[in-house]
Every structure is written in structure tokens, then in C-alpha cells.
Amino acid sequence: MKEFNLERALAGDPVVTRDGRRVRVICGDLNNDDYKVVVLIENNGREQVRFYEEDGKIRIAPHPDDLFMIPITVERWTIVTASGDVSLGLFSTEEGAIATQEEHYKGGRVVKAVIEL
């Protein structure tokens, strides 16, 4: 799991608690001196309201309800040439990489890259 990022969470990136429950971030600017972040945590088929500091922590010590980002991964393809160099681009489809490899990099190989954002 990745450290909680309020900006990304508010933009819709997926969030979970330390113990893996799904979270919906409602706001990050609550007019409150202690807690600015309001979330809904999935709990036995229902949602419960919780309040957090901007870093996604509920207390100083690690807690099962602390917030984390779910890593987002994307798959792309690239070409490794016969001499072992990597082509200059990433392709969004394997087919596109294969077509380019067959046309420009004979003897090369198409390789999948999984990238964590």
C-alpha cells in the first residue's frame, strides 16, 4: 500500500484502510480544528463516518483505520531491440508494439511493462 495522498484521494484514486476496507473520501476541508478529512468506511456492508487528519492518520500510533492509497497500475508494451536497447516509446496495446517491431525492429522482442502510478 502507498501512503495516503489527500489530493489524489479527492481526485478519485482508490483508498483503503490499513486493514483493507474500502473508503470513500467525502471532503478534505472540514471546518474543524482537529480533523479536516471526512470519509465513509465500508464496515459489514454499511458505511461509517470517520474523521482524519490530512495525512490520513487517525492517531499517532499505527491504527487499523489509517488510510492508504491503492496502487494504480497500467500495462504498456515496448520493444527490446536485437542489440538489447529499448525502443523510445511505450505502446498502449500489444498489437501496436508488434506492428512497430515487425516494421522497424526485426529481431527485436515486444515486452510488457507494468507501471505503478
pLDDT in tens, the chain (117 residues): 899 999 999 999 999 999 999 999 999 999 988 899 999 999 999 999 999 999 999 877 899 999 999 988 899 999 998 888 888 789 999 999 999 999 999 889 999 999 987
Stated pTM of the model:
0.69
Instruction: Find the farthest-apart pair of alpha carbons in the chain and give their distance in angstroms, rounded.
Output: 63
pLDDT score at 59: 77
CA dihedral 70, 115, 74, 64 (to 10 degrees): -10
Q: Quote the pLDDT of residue 55.
A: 94
List the helix and strand counts (H, then E) for the chain: 2, 8
Q: What confidence score (pLDDT) does residue 87 get?
A: 82
